[in-house]
Structure 1
Amino acid sequence: MVRRPKRWIAACFLLLLAAVLAAFYFHGKAAVKQTAAEMPEKTARLIILRHTADGAAEQIPLEDALVGFLAGEMSAEAPEAALQAQAVAARSYVYARNLSAGEVCDDSAHCLAYLSEEERRKRWGRHFAKYEEKLKAAVAATADLMLLSDGEVQAAYFHAVCGGMTENAADCWGGSVQTAAVPCFWDGGAAGNISASFWPKAELAAKLGVTEEELALLTVRTTSASGRVQRLSCGAKSWRGSEFRSLLGLRSTDFNWLATAEGYWFTVQGYGHGVGMCQAGAIGLAEQGSDFN
């Protein structure tokens, strides 16, 4: 069995940004207004939205698209301040992504989840009018606000549940972008914070490309500052933590396992890559009275 120290803190500040390690929440209204003033004119803010279902692309005003991105990425039942924080993060990500890649898609595994008005009507049913107004209000309340680092709009990352500590982007994906791992105090009871899965020995060995006997050699080699698995090995085989997570369909790289006679139990804390804003943390802060600043 592989164990790592259990973190008793289940929590997250909203977002630590990029190379300067600037906090996601700006410290005071003045900082937010100054940031907004540096943004491009509204007329220049059209994006290309690629629909992965049929490959079609449409040009759409960013502010209009944000309602669909909010609906796809966060529950409409979330507190207003959390939705506003999500709107700032999503606006920043979509704008930066559109600049660098020329478009943004509606695939959450690649860009962001997006729900069209028709899909929102179907999901919300009789609550459509209430939720639509609520999300539009969150977008309007943060109109034109984006996150900057060194004067550049940042592709602000976010995830569902950090599991008690966010992750440094460089530790997650490599590269030079830094978002410091910080503790988060509000997601201990969040849905999806703890999950488990069982793999019979034969199935796990086949998935990993090793023999059942070699499974006993499965070992964590390195972990990040937040305690997430960075690299592990099994005999001659080696994986990055993110690769192993994807291979087994685990919810995060904060996992351990228990070997039994029948197979392997994997226990996972958190949901998502852990970089940037923890949505469960944002909701927790909002419920305690914090605004999106």
Structure 2
Amino acid sequence: MQKKLLLIAVVLIGVMVAVPAILVSFDHDDPLDGKSPSDQDEDISLNAGPEIKVYLTKEKKVKKIPMERYIRGVVAAEMPADFHLEALKAQALAARTYIVDRLLRGDYEDMKARGGKATKAYVTDTVDHQVYLTDEQLKEKWGEDYETYSNRVNQAVKDTKGQVIHYKGKPIYAAFFSTSNGKTENSEDYFSTSYPYLRSVPSPWDKASPKYKDQKEFKLKEFTRRLTESTGKQISVPASAGNGWIKVTERTEGGQISKIQVGDQVFTGRQIREALDLSSADFEWSLSNGQITLVTKGYGHGVGMSQWGANLLANRGKKAKEIVRYYYQGVEVTQMNKKLARKEKG
């Protein structure tokens, strides 16, 4: 009898030791790997969509990135993460539309100019397409705010998952920029193509942007030298010209300089902006003691969605789709092409 009781006691002790061990083992093999169900859902959401082949210029390699995770990296790179959530969502819509349009057209001819591995990619991580930052770069950029900012950007991407801006059933060319001079530009006034949805619209709230005004100074010799080097046009200034050797001859509907005469040459506002690395093509100037001072209004090309305008509108209660429909005229926000959404990864 005593032997039976001893045997039962041994068995019970063994069970008591084994059960916690089994539970610990199960917990260790949990597919969530320490993540909450919401974290797992977030990962699944960001890993959705066709893979985007991005050429990382610093590493000089091509990386395959699921579309929604790519959009996360673009939104985080292109717009301040502390912007209003609705502005971040508007940026996510624009970024996704840009890459979807590029995928559907399948035209990556511009990648050939970079040569090497870049020819195997769809886009670069630069302003040539859309700026993209990897998670490692974001950790360095955001520092101790990484978790907070990451969650905000992730939310914007998740809330707009798979949504694209369409005009008459096709993805638009979703141009965007930082800050307007008070109005956006018609596409043909800066680019070579006219798009019916990229029309000039008032954006007066942009005046509250910290990037609304900027100033640069140049010695006159440097001013004319840089214009000549950039455009190939040799500038001659008549001795009798006085201070009137620079004059605007035409402005765009959005208020930027379309044509400007410098000495005996005529330039576009874009040519001046790019040659001198100005914030915009809307500028005024003053001449004094062999020096020219240029004061610009706005930041960027001015076509499409103003990012600071979007943020200021969001702070006034506008939703992402309202912001998008304002800056891109006559568009609708719908789910991306089903064939593209089901496209095999590769």
Which of 1 and 2 has higher RCO (CA within 8 Å, sep 6+)?
1
CA positional deviation for 1:220: 1.7
How far apart, CA to CA, are the structure 2 residues paired with 1:173 and 1:53? 28
Choose between structure 1 and 2: higher helix proportion. 2
Picking from 307, 311, 315, the partner of 1:283 is 311
Contact 2:166 2:172 in 1 (8 A): yes
Structure 1 segment 33-48 matched on structure 2, within 5 A: 45-48=50-53
Letter in 1 for 2:256: R
- Superposed CA RMSD in Å reads 1.9
Asked if 1:69 is matched to 2:69, the reply is no
- What SS does the corresponding residue of 1:230 show, helix, strand or coil? strand
* Counterpart check, 1:230 vs 2:261: no
Distance 2:200 2:191 in 1: 14
Partner of 1:118: 136
Match of 2:43 in 1: none
Q: CA deviation at 1:150?
A: 2.1
Alignment of 1:15-164 (within 5 A): 45-100=50-105, 101-102=107-108, 103-108=122-127, 110-164=128-182
| 1:58–1:162 Cα change, 3 Å | same
Cα shift at 1:164: 0.8
**2: CA distance between counterparts of 1:231 and 1:54?**
41
Structure 2: where are the runs of 5+ without partners?
Answer: 1-46, 109-121, 229-234, 322-346
Q: Secondary structure at the match of 2:314?
A: helix
1:199 aligns with 2:218: yes
d(CA) in 1 for partners of 2:90 and 2:49?
23
Whether contact under 8 Å (1:48, 1:98) holds in the other structure is no
5 Å-filtered alignment, 1:255-274, equals 255-274=283-302
Which amino acid counterpart does residue 68 of structure 2 have in structure 1? E
> Quick one: which amino acid aligns to residue 62 of structure 2?
A
Q: Give the number of aligned pairs.
A: 251
Change (3 A) 1:43 1:127: closer
Comparing 215-224 with 283-292, greater Cα deviation is found at 215-224
The CA distance in 1 between the partners of 2:168 and 2:274, in whole Å, is: 33
Counterpart for residue 183 of structure 1: 202
Cα pair 1:51 1:105 within 8 Å, conserved: yes
Q: TM-score, normalised by structure 2?
A: 0.68
Q: Is the 8 A contact 2:280 2:301 kept in 1?
A: yes
Distance 2:290 2:265 in 1: 22
Structure 1 residues 86, 249: CA separation in 2 closer, same or farther (over 3 Å shift)?
same
- Three-state SS of the structure 2 residue aligned to 1:233 is strand
Cα separation, 2, equivalents of 1:165 and 1:118: 37
Secondary structure of 1:111 counterpart: coil
Q: Distance in 1 between matches of 2:315 and 2:257?
A: 31
Letter in 1 for 2:315: E
Report what 2:187 is aligned to: 169
> Whole-Å Cα distance in 2 between the matches of residues 287 and 97 of structure 1?
31
How far is the alpha carbon of 1:218 from its aligned partner? 2.1
After superposition, the C-alpha distances for 1:81-104 in whole angstroms (9 at most, x for unaligned) are: 110011001110122134433412
1:146 match: secondary structure: strand
Alignment of 1:215-254 (within 5 A): 216-254=244-282
State how far apart, in whole Å, the 1-side matches of 2:225 and 2:123 are. Answer: 36
Q: Give the structure-1-normalised TM-score.
A: 0.80
Matched letter for residue 225 of structure 2: A
Q: Distance in 1 between matches of 2:138 and 2:218?
A: 36
Structure 1: gaps (5+ residues): 1-41
CA distance in 1, matches of 2:142, 2:59: 24
**Residue identity matched to 1:189:** A
CA distance, structure 2, for counterparts of residue 224 and residue 176 of structure 1:
14
